[in-house]
Amino acid sequence: MTAPIVISTWPFGKPANDAAWNVLNPTGFALDAIEAGIMQCENDPTVTSVGFGGLPDASGEVTLDASIVDHEGRCGAVACISKIKNPIRAARLVMEHTPHVLLVGPGATQFALSQGMREENLLTEHAAAEYQKWKQQQAAKKKPQGHDTIGMLALDSAGRLAGGCSTSGLAYKLPGRVGDSPLIGAGLCLEPGIGAATATGVGEEMIRSCGSHSIVENLRRGMEPIDAIRDVLERIHRRRGSEAGDVSFISLRADGVYAGMSLWTKTNFQFALSSPDRSDMIKAATLM
CB of 255 to ligand GLY, least distance (A): 27
What part of residues 192-251 is at the interface with ligand GLY (CB under 6 A)?
A: 200-203
Nearest CB to ligand GLY, comparing residues 4 and 182: 182
2 is catalytic: no
Q: Single out the catalytic residue among 9, 63, 109, 149.
A: 149
Q: Positive or negative CA dihedral for 245, 173, 111, 148? A: positive
Strand, helix or coil for residue 137: helix
Nearest CB to ligand GLY, comparing residues 162 and 170: 170
Nearest CB to ligand GLY, comparing residues 156 and 204: 204
Contact pattern for ligand GLY over residues 160 through 189, marking x by CB under 6 A: -------x-xx--------xxx--------
90 scored as a contact of ligand GLY (CB under 6 A) = no
What part of residues 251-270 is at the interface with ligand GLY (CB under 6 A)?
A: none
Residue nearest to ligand GLY (CB): 179
CB of 65 to ligand GLY, least distance (A): 6
Nearest CB to ligand GLY, comparing residues 200 and 214: 200
Find out whether 166 and 38 touch, Cβ atoms under 8 Å: yes
Cβ count near 15 (within 10 Å): 16
State the alpha helices, DSSP H only, in the chain: 13-24, 30-42, 87-97, 105-114, 125-137, 203-209, 211-220, 225-240
Distance from C-alpha of 15 to C-alpha of 23, rounded to nearest angstrom: 13
Distance from C-alpha of 273 to C-alpha of 95, rounded to nearest angstrom: 27
CA proximity to 42, closest of 85, 75, 77: 85
Distances (CA, A) of 164 to 31, 93, 182, 254: 9, 13, 9, 16
What part of residues 99-158 is at the interface with ligand GLY (CB under 6 A)?
A: 147, 149
Interacting residue ranges for ligand GLY, rule: CB under 6 A = 147, 149, 167, 169-170, 179-181, 200-203
Give the residue numbers annotated as catalytic, written as ranges.
149
